[in-house]
A = this chain, B = another copy of it.
């Protein structure tokens, strides 16, 4: 149920927003799985693979009974910010179908302002086998709580400049971009424009590099973005090593420090390290009774961190809040919060 402060109507068009996230709008299809299953299906544990319609269908057929929960990395972050009491918006594209309705319901019910997009249409050069259904991510959750993902982007793959709600983006303090979008030609153009709009509105630009394979695919572009366009970087340890081409975490830290960016590097059970102009600071992970499903851990860490920052907290407190949100999300199935995140934040002294 909606329980946002009635004084903060994020949907009012003149209202400033803390975070506007841009990403692939996806519904997650989560099912328990085993290492043996992953091997048999040719999936690399812990990774995200983009799959075509036929492969998605055959993987779904091989999958056990599942649970559907709205997902999409940046959308999870926007929902997390709203759950913390922040004002957030989201730019992403779904089709006019049942899963699209589910996605739109969930993000709106979470209190996130959804950007206007153009209707879904195939371009002239489109693959005739392309499916314009709402995107979905098959998430195989192993007993250790690790998730392995196969994403069929569907309608999300058509995100382009016409779908960029520039008015919404111009209202943000932070514009948060999903690295996964660099896999898509038209989305890249849209992202370049989002960065222009953000900087024109004096907003910070935050980037998550999303996934180690995504870093491998777009390393040069990501480094260029970090140099010229990005103000805040989110990466996990493995992604940071790949991004900077180093072998150890300390070397990655030094490389991040050299960029001069504000960065949050997550390390799973080892917590996170925040890099600021005045040096690095390690923050321990929150205790978690039992890890059920790590889907969304990085997304919710980013939600907590950005909510902290846009609420006036320093990087250390913000990282702590990131850890609190990540701990909540890995304690249950799905990448959208169940617990009252505001209550968790208040308990940690961050109301």
Contacts and interface: CB of A to CB of B under 8 A. Distances in A.
A306 B209 CA distance: 51
A347 interface: no
A26 B69 CA distance: 17
A334 B67 contact: yes
Given A65-B106, A67-B68, A109-B64, A1 B32 contact: yes
B79 A109 contact: no
A242 interface: no
Contacts of A63: 1, 105, 109
Contacts of A332: 332-333
Interface stretch (A5-13, A94-102, A145-153, A230-238): A94-102
A183 interface: no
A34 B340 CA distance: 13
Nearest to A339: B32
Contacts of A109: 31, 63-66
A1 B34 contact: yes
A204 interface: no
Q: Which of A67, A106, A333, A336 has the most CB of B within 10 A?
A: A67
Contacts of A110: 64-65
A175 to B, nearest CB: 23
Interface in A201-223: none
Interface string A95-138: 00111001001110110000000000000000000000100000
Contacts of A69: 67-68
A62 B107 CA distance: 13
Contacts of A106: 65-66
Given A1-B31, A2-B64, A66-B109, 13 more contacts: A31-B109, A60-B105, A61-B105, A63-B105, A65-B70, A65-B336, A66-B102, A66-B105, A67-B334, A68-B69, A97-B98, A332-B332, A333-B338
